[in-house]
Amino acid sequence: MLDVDSLIAIDFHTHAEESCGLHADDGYDDFQEAMSDYFKSPHKSPPTIPETAAYYREKKIGAVIFPVDAERETGFRRYNNEEMAELCAQNDDILIPFASIDPAKGKLGAREALRLVKDFGIQGFKFHPTMQGFYPNDRSAYTLYEAIAETGKPVLFHTGQTGVGSGMPGGMGMKLGYSNPIYIDDVAADFPDMPIILAHPSFPWQEEALSVATHKPNVYIDLSGWSPKYFPPILIRYMNSILKHKMLFGSDWPVILPDRWISDFEKLEIKPDVRPLIMKDNARKLLKI
């Protein structure tokens, strides 16, 4: 059981990149190598969930962890949500499991979402519009959103451009426009009781993300995927003021280590009363732990 009081932080954005029982042979290694090169990551092969748990346990940082179900668009076999959840249950002192379901799965995906929360302790859901190839406000995705809203669990959407697909031919065919946060404004309006997190500084749509988070009470921002030294001034200004209760620490493990993120964050001019909100308190309230 997670002892939040003993933690120094909660990392809202970590990836379950590799199944312990099955090594991908479908182009995933090339994708991971490009990601590692882009972020200058020390990990040359994806860590397993137990390895991730051991790292975060040593650092006394809780971790929201998830796979990405993008097999329809990328051809990469998805990490089985049930297997991931079972491994997280064995490390529930440090890991908080989110699942990932391609919205194209429709009613099948909706049933899976309900079952994962009921039977496997899933605490939220991750969407990656660029990798999954969909606009978040596409009505075909609402079947899945409706099921998730029924559970009361939060949803996390990748936004903007990070290193995913960078440097690969055609960006590996991934289209950045899917991840403009303005499309999530529609979702926030249509599902006002469903907590929504916009992942990453939303380059090149940072102001759109800040606008949505300011306007919609149920929208938050996680600060993963970028070193804080690259945060634009307007993001820091909002972090220190009207959105200080809606900003969340996230690293983007394993491509960005929390040590690196925290070290760079400490160099920013963040108000003393705001730092603990971003590092742990906002996540704790959002996750109800």
Rg (CA), the chain: 17
Q: Identify the three-state secondary structure at position 116.
A: helix
Domain count, the chain: 1
Phi-psi region of 232 (alpha: psi -120 to 50; beta: other; left: phi over 0): beta
- pTM of structure: 0.89
Do residues 122 and 116 lie in contact, with contact meaning Cβ atoms separated by under 8 Å?
A: yes
Do residues 232 and 201 lie in contact, with contact meaning Cβ atoms separated by under 8 Å?
A: yes
Give residue 53's domain range. 4-287
Could you read off the pLDDT tens digit of each residue along the chain, which spans 289 residues? 899 999 999 999 999 976 544 555 555 565 556 555 555 656 556 799 999 999 999 999 999 999 999 899 888 788 899 999 999 999 999 999 999 999 999 999 999 999 999 999 999 999 999 999 999 999 999 999 999 999 999 999 999 987 665 555 565 656 789 999 999 999 999 999 999 999 999 999 999 999 999 999 999 999 999 999 999 999 999 999 999 999 999 999 999 999 999 999 999 999 999 999 999 999 999 999 9
DSSP tag of 123 = -
Alpha-carbon distance of 83 to 89, in angstroms, equals 10
What's 71's domain CATH number?
Answer: 3.20.20.140
| ∠ Cα 141 193 106 (to 5°) | 15
Alpha-carbon distance of 105 to 137, in angstroms, equals 16
